[in-house]
A and B are shown apart, each in its own frame.
Chain A
Amino acid sequence: MTQTTAHHHAPPQGFLRTHVFSLDHKVIGKQYLDLALVAVCTGMVLSWLMRFHLAWPETPIPGLGRVSPTGAAGGVITPEYYLALMTMHGTIMVFFVLTTAPFAGFGNYFLPIQVGAEDMAFPRINMTSFWVTLVAFLVLVAAFFVGDGPPLSGWTAYAPLSAVGKDAGPGQGVGQTLWAVSITLFCVAQLLGALNFITTTLDLRTKGMSLARMPYSTWAWFITSVIGLIAFAVLMPACILLILDRVAGTSFFIPSGLVISDRLQPHSGGSPLLWQHLFWFFGHPEVYIAILPGFGIVSHILPVFARKPLLGPRVLIASLVAIAFLSYTVWGHHMFLSGMNPFSATLFSVPTLIITIPATIVTLLWIGTIYGARLRFTTPALFCLGFVSVFVSGGISGFFLAQPSIDTYLHGTYFVVGHFHFVMGVAAMFGIFAGTYFWAPKMFGRLMSETLGKWHFWLTFIGVYCVFMPMHYLGLAGNVRRYSAFTDDYLKPMIPLHRFITIAALFTGAAQLIFLFNLVWTRLRGPKAPDNPWEATTLEWSTTSPPPFDNFGGRPPVVHHGPDEYGGNSAAGDYVMQASSESGRVA
């Protein structure tokens, strides 16, 4: 057990130091969340463009021709531009939304408060981390505005397509270089962030905050940091090698005798598979970097509204640790089609199936927690339940894909698109929504509208099932992914279903305007929030809404209780705050 240290920096003076170049973890957390909000809007618009083109490939999209005269002349998207939109959608969503919001955003704001610290261990590094992330985002988005447009090699940037330069097609010149530079910067930022998260958790816990008393969300951010520390440490040098192949003439990933666009490439001996290995050694743990904070958020929020302690807290932590460890043993399941030895495929298939065990255990713990509970159906609780639903729906299709023989058929189809959007994209987004509705009163000092929140939940919940569930059927029917239009005879019967998905995607996207309005309205005009509107127990609810600069007004809390002591009787009600000095456990 450790103690908090003195605050590293004085309260800031002036607008710039207070709101822009702030060292305060709370401001930095909100900056991350705002960045993720801009990124998710961008990524969502890109998906609308793709979906519209898939459903009506000949119909011009008004105004798009002006944005990209070459990629969408007359408003009709070319196949190359479709791939560019897909690349940018995937990159923006995975890195700048699913990593940035639940991990860097909420983690920055709430990890220090939940452990009873006044700030992160290294506030300057923390600020640097955010600004490098912002620069990385701007560098990536700049690819839309350079001569040959954004890259088209997918968010995985497979070599040699990503490595050979402009011969490989539009966007593979400057655009792809910008992509690689952006991701390198992003890795640096995330490594700095993970450094802060881990050190803060280990060294700055307040008196009484033993590991066993740490909130589950803090545990999840801590474990995610450890995953990130290893994963981004591999992607960063891989991106550096990719940049060197592109700009310095090296041959790390480009093989000999490669002819592209009728030109023999001046490289020799490189290994495209090396990129795949390095990328997926990062890429699969990245899935858990995106989803584990959601696990933590759901585990943190569900007991609050179930008014019961979480079932099996130690099992939960052990499962999260097991998932983190196993996430580094499964990367080859993304490469079953790369021509790998079938024995190697089996070697990757087995841990892929094993990793479903801790994930299933966690799901059962959530269900066991709400079993028999008098659940309070607030918006954050609904999004937690939605999280469980979409995570299970997407996870079950993972069982099929984990087996090489089945994956051989399904890997290149919409089945995979439906799978990973459910399990990684939508589930993580539901975690973000749950966290936003739950912590908004603390972050902004104002209550979000529950009515609008519930409308938002139900429309989104129905919408995402309409979008992604049919994709599984498309995949089983052999509908290939990454095609910009379905002109082959066997694909034409799929077009009506694609149109249904597109309409559902536009509908679901429109439903997000309710959230956006609710969020903006709350921040500007929402009713004032009390300090503990949900009757929750963890330390963030022991301080004011929003918290003061040093989080606890110069009085670091002393922790006496676990993170979820609900269901008994105490002076406060049916719960005991972590910082309450009431003796004993009431539950």
Chain B
Amino acid sequence: MSGPVPGVAFPPLRPSPPVPPPPSAMPRTTTQPSPPQPARTGIWIAIGTIGMSFAALTSAMVVRQSGAADWRHFQLPSLLYVNTVVLLASSGTLEWSRRRIAAIPGGTGSFVPPLQALSGLYITLAFGLLFVTGQVIAWRQLAAQGLFLATAPSSAFFYVFTALHGVHVVGGLGGLVYVLSRLRPTVSPVRPAPLGAAALYWHFMAGLWLYLLVILATRV
């Protein structure tokens, strides 16, 4: 049997390697495979398919507009820009909350999300509802000008784009409500994946809206 003799100190022949921390305490490195997050994967796939739908509609608009004598340009309601700010702000508050909650070490079994972070999620919800309401008001403003779905192809695409985006935003609001229900202090341990997935979806909604706004502002 080999080993140090008790009571006799030998100088080390070479610097001893640092003792690796136990696996549970090891920080995650880029070489480690991250655990699967089906919710996040699912949202990425949903983003792909939603993006494809809007790409199809965009190409349909380009084709329909080209050479069409009945295309009618009109001024977008300025409320849309206010709505844009509201949606971007909601994205910001959600990201702020997500980071606050993600920074809390998990696995304690008695997780209580901080009130500030939760209030950030409620503010996101309120902003989201405000955005949807603002979009409906913008529709009413256009209708007051005599621009309805069937008035012109430009107005038709405007209503189709905003309605489909609105439906997806409402779906996102449902997802946020679900995440909030999971974050109640009585539910433990907290699983951060649904929150991250919901945030990813919500940011995509904001980005998609910016894209649609540019398309609509330049074409209708």
Contacts and interface: CB of A to CB of B under 8 A. Distances in A.
Contact of A274 (B42, B53, B64): B64
A252 B38 contact: no
Interface stretch (A226-234, A420-428, A572-580): A226-234
A359 B46 CA distance: 29
B160 A241 contact: yes
Interface in B1-57: 33, 35-38, 41-42, 45-46, 48-50, 52-54, 56-57
Given A237-B56, A241-B160, A250-B156, A270 B36 contact: no
A229 B52 contact: yes
A53 to B, nearest CB: 38
A233 B70 contact: no
Contacts of A5: 36, 38
A209 B41 CA distance: 18
Contact of A233 (B33, B56, B63): B56
B156 A252 contact: yes
Contact of A268 (B41, B60, B70, B164): B70
Overall SS of chain A's interface:
helix
Contacts of A252: 60, 64, 153, 156
A251 interface: yes
A409 B149 CA distance: 41
B144 to A, nearest CB: 19
For chain A, the bracket of interface size reads: 35 or more
Nearest to B156: A250
Interface string A254-270: 00100000000000111
A203 B160 contact: no
B115 interface: no
A268 B67 CA distance: 12
A271 interface: yes
Interface residues of B, number: 30
A184 to B, nearest CB: 12
A281 B36 contact: no
B150 interface: yes
B49 to A, nearest CB: 4
A199 interface: yes
Contacts of A250: 149-150, 153, 156
A122 B149 contact: no
A476 interface: no
Nearest to B62: A274
A3 B35 contact: yes
B214 interface: no
A195 B52 contact: no
Given A122-B42, A198-B45, A237-B164, A278 B56 contact: yes
Contact of B56 (A121, A194, A234, A271): A234
A237 B60 contact: yes
A237 B149 contact: no
A474 interface: no
A237 B53 contact: yes
Given A199-B42, A237-B56, A3 B68 contact: no
A199 B41 contact: yes
A377 B96 CA distance: 64
Contact of A229 (B45, B70, B164): B45
B45 A270 contact: no
A233 B49 contact: yes
Interface in A525-558: none
A352 B96 CA distance: 50
Given A229-B48, A229-B52, A269-B69, A249 B150 contact: yes
Given A203-B41, A230-B52, A268-B70, A248 B149 contact: yes
A11 B156 CA distance: 48
Contacts of B164: 237, 240
A244 B70 CA distance: 17
A271 B202 CA distance: 34
Given A2-B33, A199-B41, A203-B37, A249 B53 contact: no
A269 B153 contact: yes
A229 B63 CA distance: 23
A234 B52 contact: yes
Interface string A1-45: 111010000000000000000000000000000000000000000
Contacts of A238: 56, 60
A234 B53 contact: yes
Contacts of A196: 42
Given A237-B53, A237-B164, A252-B156, A274 B63 contact: yes
Contacts of B36: 2-3, 5, 202-204
A277 interface: yes
Contacts of B60: 237-238, 241, 252, 274, 278
Closest 7 CB pairs of A and B: A249-B150, A203-B36, A233-B52, A269-B70, A121-B38, A234-B56, A233-B49
Given A199-B42, A237-B164, A269-B69, 12 more contacts: A2-B36, A195-B42, A203-B37, A203-B41, A204-B38, A229-B49, A233-B52, A233-B53, A234-B56, A237-B60, A251-B153, A252-B153
19 contacts: A191-B49, A198-B41, A198-B45, A203-B37, A233-B49, A237-B53, A237-B60, A241-B57, A244-B149, A250-B149, A251-B153, A251-B156, A252-B153, A256-B70, A269-B68, A271-B64, A274-B64, A278-B56, A278-B60
Interface of A: 1-3, 5, 121-122, 191, 194-196, 198-200, 202-204, 229-230, 232-234, 236-238, 240-241, 244, 248-252, 256, 268-271, 274, 277-278, 281
